[in-house]
Amino acid sequence: MSPTLKSLRALSDATRLRIVALLERDELSVNELQEITRLGQSRISTHLGLLADCELVKSRREGKRTFYKLNPDAAGTIAEFIQLAIRGARELGEHSSDQINLKRVLARRREQAQVFFNQVAGRFDRVYGPGRSWQAFGHLLLRILPPLTVADLGAGEGLLSELLARRCKKVIAVDNSEKIVEFGAAKAKKNGLKNLEFRLGDLQNPPIEPASVDLVILSQALHHAEDPAAALMSAAKLLKPRGQILILDLLAHKFDDARRLYGDRWLGFAESDLQRWLEAAGFKKIEINVVAHEEQPPHFQTVLAGGER
- pLDDT, one tens digit per residue, over 218-273 is 999 999 999 999 999 999 999 999 999 999 999 999 999 999 999 999 999 988 89
pLDDT level of residue 105 (50, 70, 90 thresholds) = confident
What pLDDT, on a 0 to 100 scale, did the predictor assign at position 38? 83
Question: CA-to-CA distance for 300 and 248, rounded, in angstroms?
Answer: 13
Average pLDDT of span 40-59: 91
Q: CA neighbours within 13 Å on the CB side: how many for 13?
A: 15
Average pLDDT of span 115-139: 65
Average pLDDT of span 20-42: 90
Q: Are 262 and 250 in contact (CB under 8 A)?
A: no
Q: Do the strands 239-250 and 213-219 form a parallel or antiparallel pair, or are they unpaired?
A: parallel
Q: Which residues of the chain does CATH 1.10.10.10 include?
A: 3-119
Residue range 3-119 in CATH 3.30.420.40: no
pLDDT of 79 over the 60 cut: yes
pLDDT of 139 over the 90 cut: no
Q: 159-194 burial, b if ≥16 CB within 10 A, otherwise e? A: ebbbbbbebbebbbbbbeeeebbebbbebbeeeebe
Its pTM stands at 0.61
pLDDT level of residue 3 (50, 70, 90 thresholds) = confident
Q: Chain-wide mean pLDDT for the chain?
A: 89
pLDDT level of residue 194 (50, 70, 90 thresholds) = very high
CATH number, span 134-308? 3.40.50.150
Q: Which residues of the chain does CATH 3.40.50.150 include?
A: 134-308
What pLDDT, on a 0 to 100 scale, did the predictor assign at position 206? 96
Average pLDDT of span 141-159: 91
pLDDT of 113 over the 80 cut: no
Question: CA-to-CA distance for 128 and 126, rounded, in angstroms?
Answer: 6
pLDDT of 25 over the 80 cut: yes
Average pLDDT of span 50-61: 90
Q: 199-233 burial, b if ≥16 CB within 10 A, otherwise e? A: bebbbbebebeeeebbbbbbbbbbbbbeebbebbe
Average pLDDT of span 56-79: 88
What pLDDT, on a 0 to 100 scale, did the predictor assign at position 137? 77
Phi-psi region of 168 (alpha: psi -120 to 50; beta: other; left: phi over 0): beta
- Phi and psi dihedrals of 57, rounded to 5? -130, 160
